Structure 1
Amino acid sequence: MIKPLYLQTNDLDIYSFHVKSTVSSRYAVTVITSRVANRAEEPREVDFHVELPKNAFISKFNMTIGGKAYSGVVKKKEEAEKQYSEAVSRGQSAGLVSAVGRTLEEFKTSVTVAAHSKVTFELTYEELLKRRLGKYKLLIKAKPTQVVKDFKIDVEIFERQGIRFLETQGGLASNDLASAVITNLTDKEALVHFSPSVEQQQCPSCGDKGLSGELLVVYDVNRPTSQGVLQVVNGYFVHYFAPSGLSRIPKNVVFIIDHSGSMSGTKMRQTREAMLKILDDLHEEDHFGLISFDDRVTPWEDNLVPVNSDYLALARTFVQNINSRGRETDVNEIQKNVREAIRKRYTLYCLGFGYDVDYKFLNRMSLENDGLARRIYEDSDAALQLQGFYEEVATPLLLDVQMNYTGAANVTHTSFGQYYDGSELVVAGQINHNDLETFTAEIKAKTFVSPPLLSSLCVCVYVAGCRVLLPEEQQMAVREQVLALSLKHNFVTPLTSMVVTKPEGERAQVANKPRKGNNQHLHPRGLQLLPELENV
């Protein structure tokens, strides 16, 4: 997502703004190029401000002034911090990358441009598109704050499996702007071109501030085989596994709802609203239960019950009567109790409301029990966020998925507790000696049998806790691996920073990647302080 902003003055002219996103095998590389002219009789400071997805990482940044390029260099965070501190001691400021909402981080920098001179900014970021509910989504948000003479967004998609469907959505693809979007789709390639005229950028609600909106490209690929698709390039492989046509597995699901004091007010109301909608989505072959807790545990029924009209009516009454009260504070005791209760028999999903939730604790509990955590943002659509997450994990198709490879090394995670309808499992690795003759892939999993094989799903709507999953010595080893990869391939992670070397006399710039979902801990001068990895 991109939102370029510039100092508002008639003397600064954004005469060209291009976004080019190239997607190949679900991997997107996006390049933002913005050209600005200072038409004033004196030097002016020009700001460059973009927003990018939180799951993306910056891999390149260049500024070109007077024909000379100044590039960002990725360094160890400690080295970047030292350079920043030296700049601060001279009264200089710094650039930053910080969180700005649910899905975005923002990158800022600035430079002084001489009279009647120009500057070109070029930022590259990369991301792996994740399949959810049967779709991949690439979102670009543009808000130039002025009309741009040369304004275009180009998206190129290539998928070897073939593109099953493609749609364009968002404000930049609707109403009077629909004619500015041109889409060409062939079997394996798609091109989306957005180029609004000056007149289209001067809509009644835009005025002289130009367009402000989103271009969302949504697509999926063909899946001709149930074994998935293996792609091999330069001695490495990626295995995409998303079989279709499988029978849905009936499940046991227990909804565990925190109603301690931290859930008071809007959080509790939205949780009740979401739970009532989720109850309507349960399948009749499922079994379910409800538990509320604070410093005490209150089960709705002692056992799981079938999904039928009578039990659903009773469950709705129970949910409507849940109110916030009490406390729960001992995160170590909570984690111990959860571990002993689950004993690797079930999957735990933790949902946390708001920025004040201890997200690392929820993440650790989920990972320890083969699940994942998701932050729910306290907006008007929080109930829909809860319901949407449930929909992602509501339809298990496979259990205990094991993806085994011979003749391979440095393979990523290969064991998955479940495969859900509309999702995708992705494994990557290196082929030994680039020898395809000895390289094989094997998939083992459990599917629907009769009598039904019941999967177990535990959804926890929760606010609390802290820590990470790995022991400290393993955390250090993983950090060193992440750091080495970051420096080798020149991209920004929570362990590295991008240092932007600027013209002599200009202030230093240090860009860091912030902690996930946290926009609080900013240095008074704007630098994101050293964050830790979320899951390491």
Structure 2
Amino acid sequence: MKIKHFKLISILFFLAFVCAYSIGSPTESNLVVTTLEEKNQNHNKESFPIKPLSVKINEIHVTSRVRNRYAVTTIQSKVKNYNHKAKQASFSVILPDSAFISNFTMEINGQNYTAYVKEKEEAKKIYDEAVAQGSSAAHVATARDSNRFTVSVNVEPETKAAFYLTYEELLKRQNGFYQLVINLHPGELVRNLDVVVEIAESRKLVNVKVPPIRTGNEVQSGINDLDPRAVLDIVNDTSAVIKFTPSEERQKALAHSLGMKEEEGLAGQFVVEYDVERDPIGGEVLVQDGYFVHFFAPKDLKPLLKYIVFILDTSSSMWGQMIRQLKEAMYEVLDQLHPNDLFHLVEFNTNVRVWNLNNYLQSVWYPTSDDVYWSESYGPEDIANRTFPEAYMVNGDNIKKAKESISKFEAVSATDIHTALQVGMHLIKTTKQNIKYANHQPMVMFLTDGEPTVRETSTQKILNDISKLNDQKTPIFALSFGEAADKNFLQKLSLNNYGFSKHIYEGADAALQLQDFYRQISSPLLSNVSFKYEPSVTSLTKNEFSIHFDGSEMVVAGCYDQTENFDESFGNVTAWNGHDTVSMNFTVQRTVSSIERLWAYLSVKQLLDQKEVDEENKALIQKKALELALNYSFVTPVSSLVVVKPNATSSVDVENAKIGEDYSALTDNRFGGVPLSAGLYSDFDYDESIDVPDYNYKTTEKASNDLFMSYPWLNSIVDKEGFITISKGKYKLGLNETISDVVQCKANNKPGYCVLLNSCSQAYSVILSLNDYINYFCELQNEYAGVCCLID
């Protein structure tokens, strides 16, 4: 096909938005805009020389407008191809996992191409048709708690292209402030780079500040010269404008301070923090055009007494750095407990140990011996017949003993999650029966780095059993630690049990992540919080909450009859303050910001959570979420973005950001440091006199690079020789191999054929992590790592 014909083709592409949503986790909004020059394909695998850049980013403009905690962020990137041949330009944005894309437009050669949102399955058909034509998706990953959007297009010689993307999010209040985070990683120095944040609130702004630039993956301390030198303009009591316009020299200096290559420009997160003046009682309600939002974060309340059960995984997979970090974090957490609080210290592996702080030799193991390693699961009746140590009051002596106990933790044996949680529920039930502790708010902090491996291993049965046992309505805060932890299961565990989950990434700062998580739940102020409104109020989001913590905020939204006068008498908030049930009235204020979109956003978010735990009504809940998503053009886990791309050279996808990867990992050193974030598909040197090669043509190097693009988690387990090491052994990836053996296999009780990972086109859409891969793993010729490619 001649290139002049090729240039007329437009292909529909689908963007599957994968959202790893964690309730209560810090959001990290990010921006990455990158370009990629063609690689020379005639060179050694260990060292790829890269040609001088010919597609240059001339401008990056980020504008974030925050209206009553609801942020709408628009990213604009303008590039130019200075080469005399057509070249590929890539636009890539990493979104916070709580954000929804709401608009995407490309301007190529003066023509606009605007994306539209479709139902996920319908969009997938479009996507599969594109794949059948020889295109393939680029999976890439960088920052924590994020999802990445990437699109690549050809830019004609000496012409420009522009990209515009908008995403929306409700800022979450944590530790007493809201935080808007925008990550900048253009991959080069940009002549015109600026970020403008406009804040307009209904109440007086408090403590507006711009902290130092940060990397976005590890908690930092002691790094100098990361002041963004932003201009902060307090317009009036309720509004502010922040501008960040680093010159190329300043971009170099910041890159140097962050440990990055200066020529690759700034690679870090720009952060704005602020709070608003609080209503001391029932919070504020904003109304507009039949919609309302209720923000509730009362101040000057005395913290509740709490009773916390620490249930900590010490199975063999916690060996080494992870167990050391757990100990380090727990020493700090114990120091943050309040006087007169209660606590139990429980560790689990194959068995469960409830620690006796006065004599660790008298700590109670359950079951009592490894002889029952393969026994059937133990139920609450068996546990009720055992006598465990009583809860300990927080004082200096008991904290010292608890630290000594934790110092004796050893990582051994398997993982019995079911029994550990049953023991935790039993401890809470028996402790709360003591009249002395009736006013202590029970909580569970549960941490594991794996999945259930002994006795009861069905996660669904564990979820059902623990929900039935939790008659105290105790919040369970689940922490998934490391790559192998079953994050979906732990998220459901928390959602089912009045809490929220958080992933702790493996890294040097893991102990600090654990400490930060505990800080969020360290001071409960109210329990059994209920928002009540007049019957004319409809379409309410969640309005019953188990517990409210100091520094956080509860948000409820809904619709009201505009013929009614929505005022302070329209409802109230009731809650338990540790001694009595109190009733609090709220204030009402009219606003000009879009309360309707905030309501829609919050409704979709909560429906998606509800879908995960309500199996009986899952289909109906998903239908409601989809209807809202399509109506408001939100890209969500149940809806997808269809992008019209001119002169396509690669397809588009969104990928969960890789766990624990930092910006230095954006280059794959095995292949000469080529930026993974840019997409590794080679451009073609176009010539009017020759035919264009078929797009699905792959060189050996390109096939290898595509593999690491599609499966970014491979980077952490593959060595320079192309071997991977997993729990099942050490295997070749077979990057340059072709195996014709016919080997039947099964995965998820479905039949398939065992093939090399780069030979299964369907795998990248279902294998999103190392844990997924292990579920589909199969062995080829006793030495190659295969994947069970299912038969449709």
TM-score by length of 1: 0.89
SS class of match (1:147): coil
253-262 or 233-242, larger mean C-alpha shift? 253-262
User: Cα distance 1:126–1:168, how it changes in 2: closer, same or farther (>3 A)?
Assistant: same
SS class of match (2:571): strand
Q: Which residue of 1 aligns with 2:206?
A: 164
- Aligned with residue 631 of structure 2, among 482, 488, 507: 488
Q: Does 1:152 align with 2:213?
A: no
Q: Deviations over 1:307-352 (max 9, x none)?
A: 1222122211211112122322323554455345432342211111
User: Cα distance 1:402–1:515, how it changes in 2: closer, same or farther (>3 A)?
Assistant: farther
2: CA distance between counterparts of 1:408 and 1:114?
Answer: 55
Q: Does 1:474 align with 2:474?
A: no
- Aligned with residue 550 of structure 2, among 414, 421, 441: 421
Shift of 1:513: 6.5
Q: Which residue of 2 aligns with 1:239?
A: 294
Q: Which residue of 1 aligns with 2:315?
A: 260
Q: Which residue of 1 aligns with 2:103?
A: 60
SS class of match (2:84): coil
Q: Which residue of 2 aligns with 1:299?
A: 354
User: Cα distance 1:89–1:340, how it changes in 2: closer, same or farther (>3 A)?
Assistant: closer
Q: Which residue of 2 aligns with 1:456?
A: none
SS class of match (2:135): coil
Q: Which residue of 1 aligns with 2:80?
A: 37
- Aligned with residue 765 of structure 2, among 516, 525, 529: 529
SS class of match (1:419): strand
SS class of match (1:449): coil
Q: Which residue of 2 aligns with 1:7?
A: 36
Q: Which residue of 1 aligns with 2:370?
A: none
Shift of 1:68: 0.7
Q: Conserved in 1, the CA contact under 8 Å of 2:340 and 2:395?
A: no
337-346 or 144-153, larger mean C-alpha shift? 337-346
2: CA distance between counterparts of 1:62 and 1:356?
Answer: 37
SS class of match (2:165): strand
Q: Deviations over 1:51-109 (max 9, x none)?
A: 2211111111110012110011111222222222212222123466x653422222111
- Aligned with residue 71 of structure 1, among 114, 125, 139: 114
Q: Which residue of 2 aligns with 1:384?
A: 512
Q: Give the letter aligned to residue 261 of structure 1.
A: S
Q: Give the letter aligned to residue 66 of structure 2.
A: V
**Equivalent residues in 2 for 1:330-341, closer than 5 Å:** 330=456, 331-332=459-460, 334-335=462-463, 338-341=466-469
User: Cα distance 1:99–1:508, how it changes in 2: closer, same or farther (>3 A)?
Assistant: closer
2: CA distance between counterparts of 1:179 and 1:120?
Answer: 26
Shift of 1:136: 0.7
Q: Does 1:223 align with 2:278?
A: yes
- Aligned with residue 142 of structure 2, among 97, 100, 111: 100
364-373 or 169-178, larger mean C-alpha shift? 169-178
Q: Deviations over 1:265-284 (max 9, x none)?
A: 32222212211111111111
**Equivalent residues in 2 for 1:184-199, closer than 5 Å:** 184-185=233-234, 186-199=236-249
1: CA distance between counterparts of 2:103 and 2:270?
Answer: 23
Shift of 1:291: 1.1
Q: Deviations over 1:382-430 (max 9, x none)?
A: 1111111111111011111111111210101111111110000000001
What percentage of residue pairs aligned between the two structures are identical? 36
2: CA distance between counterparts of 1:340 and 1:315?
Answer: 30
User: Cα distance 1:101–1:512, how it changes in 2: closer, same or farther (>3 A)?
Assistant: closer
- Aligned with residue 572 of structure 2, among 430, 435, 442: 442
Q: Which residue of 2 aligns with 1:463?
A: none
Q: Give the letter aligned to residue 253 of structure 1.
A: I
Q: Conserved in 1, the CA contact under 8 Å of 2:147 and 2:654?
A: no
User: Cα distance 1:345–1:128, how it changes in 2: closer, same or farther (>3 A)?
Assistant: closer
**What RMSD over aligned residues (CA atoms) do the two structures have, in Å?**
2.8
2: CA distance between counterparts of 1:21 and 1:506?
Answer: 30
1: CA distance between counterparts of 2:204 and 2:762?
Answer: 45
SS class of match (1:120): strand
**Equivalent residues in 2 for 1:284-295, closer than 5 Å:** 284-295=339-350
2: CA distance between counterparts of 1:273 and 1:319?
Answer: 9
Higher strand share: 1
2: CA distance between counterparts of 1:510 and 1:166?
Answer: 37
SS class of match (1:171): coil
Q: Conserved in 2, the CA contact under 8 Å of 1:398 and 1:420?
A: yes
Q: Give the letter aligned to residue 423 of structure 1.
A: S
2: CA distance between counterparts of 1:66 and 1:434?
Answer: 51
Q: Any unmatched runs of 5+ in structure 2?
A: 1-29, 38-51, 216-222, 357-388, 417-452, 581-609, 661-710, 715-756, 769-792
